[in-house]
Copies of this chain bind each other. A is one copy, B any other.
Amino acid sequence: MTTGAVPGASSMRAGARLDLTRLLNPRAVAVVGASRDERRIGGQPLKILRETAYRGGVYPVNPGYPEIGGRPCFPDVIAVPRPCDVALVAVSAPRVPEIIEQCGAAGIPFAVVLSAGFREAGEAGAQLEARLKASAARSGVRVVGPNCIGLMNLADRVYLGFGAGFRNPRLKPGPVAFVSQSGGFAFSVVGLADFEGIGFNYIISAGNEADISTLDLVADFLERDDVEIVVTYLEGIADGTRLREIGVRALELGKPILIWKVGNSEVGRAAAESHTASMTAAYTLYRTAFEEGGFVEIADVHDMVDAARAFQGRRLPKGRNVAVITTSGGSGVLIADACDRHGLALPRLGSETVQAIAPVAPSHTSFANPLDLTAQITGDADSFNRITEHVLADPRVDQLVLRYGAVQGAIGESWAKRLAEIVRGSDKPVLVAWSRVPDRSEPSLQILERNRIPWLLTPTRAAFAAGALYAFARKRTALAERRARGGKRLVARQPLELPPGRSTLSEHESKACLASYGIAVTREVLLSPREVAALEQPPVALPLVVKIDSPDLPHKTEAHAVRLNVNGLAELKEQAAAALAAALAYRPQAHVNGVLVSEMARGVEVIIGAINDRYFGPVVMFGLGGVLTELAGDVAYRFAPFDVATAREMILELRASRLLTGYRGRPPVALEALAEMLSRVSLLAADHADRVAEIDVNPVFVDEARAVAADALIVLRD
């Protein structure tokens, strides 16, 4: 990437990386459970290895045969004469753990287990898979699968697997790696992408991931020099934190991960769970990880093709501004709409640019963006290119999308040649909306491909590709900025009173935890009923709030244990007694700490929440109070911990943030105080993730002067 690496230390420990070189390019392969029947899972790999002219050694293993197809066959892997890097295992499921142990004894570092009948097949299979795992751990053999269909290394022509996908001799290599949780589906996707011109160096089916996970594979591919783009089809992963680390690493390396995440709807999630028994965290958490890291979310083959082509251009835009040049007004309108949908902007061209291009442009050109040069210029590639060069040089322009009407024949060839020179003279992405039936023998298309100028089939797809480049660039910048800020904490780790065995804290206890982290809470006192009765004046300013403080009443309002707007001493005493009675009526066994008498805070109501997801760890949620958050889903998420600048971003991400920044003449609220509170909550959630399961600060009141937590609930786990 011309943009260079993101500064700052790598987030990945170098030693932790699993190097898959010997798996992907083995010197020799043992096929365990080899069969003479070439239709069987044990027979197909031998046939495929032969037909693809695999250059390493091939050793069939099956005690039942002396030879298969002229090759000597061995009774077990230990008998194989020379060291193999991979055992391809196709024996029946119950025999797999033992085979893995034998591989260990034979010094084979990797096994690819094609056999099915494990976790996907019910309880007995799951037990077998646990045994397989244990065998792998004991023997040191690293296992792909079970229940996978294998892998392909197209650069070195290594085909290890079975099924229709391995019978496609026309697949091209290319700087893309594909890791899939669904083997059969992956190969159909690869076939279609290949048809659209995208080559893959590696394709691998992760199967049940008993040992090597999808994320292990993605992480390794990211580090390989012959991989520029990783594609992954995911139903669910167990290690959200790892997913996040890999996303950051992708940004550091400038290599995108095109992520096709499925199982996101209720019905899709159920299907995913029954398909591969995948771990299915809420889609929101995946989206939060995708938005933070170097991921590009895709939903179909053409998204993959378009994003892959865009990133193969190896350029990223510096900002959101796109210039569009066309020879068809209609497609200009279309690209403008699509750019808008993808978060891109179309700035006006600079006056220097307009002056420079005016002498070359057709008469009646209106020098807008999109710049419609009309069919009048179609025959004049030279003028089109001169204009392109000026527009590309415009400092307001971060990337360029163009659609030229004469990409074919001699004019097309001269257009593409000169365009390639222009592109070489710039570091901005230039995307071509090809807009014709693609003919790979077309010289202009070949020139574009040779020069890594991304071409996209249609204007709509070109705008999607430009949007994907911009989003990736934006996230790289955000990462660099986060690192430059140094992740300064507002407060050091604080010890908290989190009693063992307890599952909830009372409001007062919860607020004490918040206060330890410097979070402003309402002024309040906790009094015994006797102390309340003895009060001679209200302990805080009127009007005040009376609540019953108890860890056993997490839903105080429901228990009628909250009395707002209490306006005098007599009312205070009366309401305290009534609230206590109501609370005990609601939950007679409740342990009551006392009566909490608080100031009544005012301002705009917001909500801060944190959950500690079993896969992703602590994540903080921010929304406005009231129905907007719940009904309109207007909520922002960030993984904890995060700094104040990130919190500010989070606040401004809400559609409703205008309510906070001076809506309809209201004064703007103390955004900075609110952002600090969010960051402090994130620190608390992260520091105490071992005990804190949930934090609910609801409501928080923000006014012009401050943000203050008016209620809080901390839920614990053991």
Nearest CB on B from A367, distance (A): 10
A276–B340 touching, CB < 8 Å: no
Contact of A364 among B121, B185, B329 (CB under 8 A): B121
Contact B263 A337 (CB under 8 A): yes
Stretch among A81-89, A298-306, A473-481 lining the B interface: A298-306
Within 8 A of B (CB), among A170-186: 180-186
A339 to B262: give the CA distance in the assembly, Å.
Answer: 12
Docked-complex contact A337 and B264, CB < 8 angstroms: yes
Complex CA–CA separation, A262 to B339 (angstroms): 12
Inter-chain contact B300/A461, CB cutoff 8 Å: yes
* Cβ–Cβ contact B330 & A368, under 8 A: no
Q: Is the CB of A436 within 8 A of B265?
A: no
Assuming A184-B328, A233-B330, A263-B337, is B191 touching A437 (CB within 8 A)? yes
- Chain B residues positioned under 8 Å from A300 (CB to CB): 458, 460-461
> A163's contact among B302, B368, B375, by CB below 8 Å, is which?
B375
CB <8 Å contact, A265 and B336: yes
Query: Which A-B residue pairs are the 3 nearest by beta carbons?
Result: A182-B330, A275-B329, A265-B340
A200 → chain B, closest Cβ, in Å?
15
Q: List 23 A-B contacts (CB under 8 A).
A: A164-B406, A182-B328, A182-B331, A188-B331, A191-B436, A192-B435, A192-B437, A195-B437, A265-B337, A267-B337, A267-B339, A270-B368, A271-B368, A271-B372, A272-B333, A275-B329, A299-B460, A301-B458, A302-B302, A627-B659, A628-B631, A631-B632, A632-B634
Which of B195, B262, B631 is the one whose CB lies under 8 Å from A337?
A: B262
CB of A213 to closest CB in B, whole Å: 17
User: In A189-217, which residues have CB < 8 Å from any B CB?
Assistant: 191-192, 194-195
Q: Is the CB of B329 within 8 A of A182?
A: yes
With A182-B331, A333-B272 already in contact, the answer to whether A267 and B192 are too (CB < 8 A) is no
Q: How far is the CA of A184 from the CA of B326 in the complex (A)?
A: 11
> Which A257-312 residues sit within 8 Å CB-CB of chain B?
262-268, 270-272, 274-276, 299-302
CB contact between A268 and one of B184, B337, B405 (< 8 Å): that residue? B337
Is there a chain B Cβ closer than 8 Å to A22's Cβ?
A: no
A634 to B263 CA separation, bound complex (whole angstroms): 27
CA of A637 to CA of B336, assembled, Å: 26
Please tell me if the beta carbons of B195 and A329 are within 8 angstroms of each other in the complex: no
Let me know if A658 is at the binding interface, CB within 8 A.
Answer: yes
Nearest chain B CB to A440 CB, angstrom units: 13
Please give, as numbers and ranges, the residues of chain B lying within 8 Å of A50 by CB-CB distance. none
State how many angstroms separate the Cβ of A233 from the closest Cβ of chain B: 7
Q: Within A445-460, which residues are at the interface with B (CB < 8 Å)?
A: 457-458, 460
> Measured between alpha carbons, how far is A233 from B195 in the docked complex, in Å?
28
- The answer to whether B330 touches A235, judged by C-beta atoms less than 8 angstroms apart, is yes
- A301 CA to B338 CA, complexed, in Å: 14
Q: Is A122 an interface residue (CB 8 A)?
A: yes
Shortest CB-to-CB span from A336 to chain B, Å, is 4
Contact among B184, B366, B372 with A375 in the assembled complex (CB-CB below 8 Å): B184
Among A181, A183, A264, A437, max chain B CB count under 10 A is at A437
- B457/A192 in contact, CB under 8 A: yes
Given contacts A195-B437, A262-B330, A435-B188, contact A346 B655 (CB under 8 A): no
Give the residue of B180, B405, B656, B658 whose beta carbon is less than 8 angstroms from that of A164. B405
- Is A185 touching B340 in the complex (CB atoms < 8 A)? no
For residue A33, CB closer than 8 A to chain B, the reply is no
Q: Tell me the complex Cα distance, A276–B330, Å.
A: 9
Name A336's contact: one of B271, B334, B346 (CB within 8 Å): B271
- Residues of B near A627 (CB, < 8 A) are 628, 656, 659, 663
A502 on interface, CB distance cutoff 8 Å: no
Chain B contacts for A192, CB-based, 8 A: 435-437, 457-458
In the bound complex, do residue B195 and residue A268 qualify as a contact, i.e. CB atoms below 8 Å apart?
no
**Minimum C-beta distance from A538 to chain B (A):** 26
- Chain B residues with CB under 8 A of A663: 627
Contacts of A345 in B (CB 8 A): 267
- Residues of B contacting A188 with CB < 8 Å? 328, 331, 435-436
- Chain B residues lying within 8 Å of A437, measured Cβ to Cβ, are 191-192, 194-195
* Across-interface contacts of A405 in B (CB, < 8 A): 164, 184
Which residues of the partner chain B approach A414 to less than 8 Å between Cβ atoms? none
A297 to chain B, nearest CB (A): 12
Q: At the interface, yes or no: A327 with Cβ under 8 Å from chain B?
A: yes
Query: Which residues of B sit under 8 angstroms from A301, Cβ to Cβ?
Result: 457-458, 460
Question: Does residue A341 face the partner (Cβ distance < 8 Å to B)?
Answer: yes
Known: A275-B333, A631-B655, A632-B655. 20 other contacts (CB 8 A): A121-B364, A180-B330, A182-B331, A182-B333, A184-B375, A185-B331, A192-B437, A194-B437, A235-B333, A262-B330, A267-B336, A268-B340, A271-B370, A271-B372, A275-B329, A275-B372, A300-B460, A627-B628, A628-B632, A631-B632
User: CB distance A262 to B631 under 8 Å?
Assistant: no
Find the residue from A122, A191, A264, A333 having the highest chain B CB count within 10 A: A333
The A225-267 residues at the B interface (CB cut-off 8 A) are: 233, 235, 262-267
| Identity of the chain B residue whose Cβ is nearest the Cβ of A634 in the assembled complex | B632
A332 interface residue per 8 A CB criterion: yes
Residues in B with CB closer than 8 Å to A271 are: 329, 332-333, 336, 368, 370, 372
Most buried by B among A194, A302, A339: A302
Q: Which residues of B contact A180 (CB under 8 A)?
A: 330
A235 to chain B, nearest CB (A): 6
Asked if B632 and A267 make an inter-chain contact with CB atoms under 8 angstroms apart, the answer reads no
Closest B residue to A408 by CB, please name it. Answer: B164
Contact B364 A334 (CB under 8 A): no
Known: A341-B265, A628-B632. A184 touches B330 (CB 8 A): yes
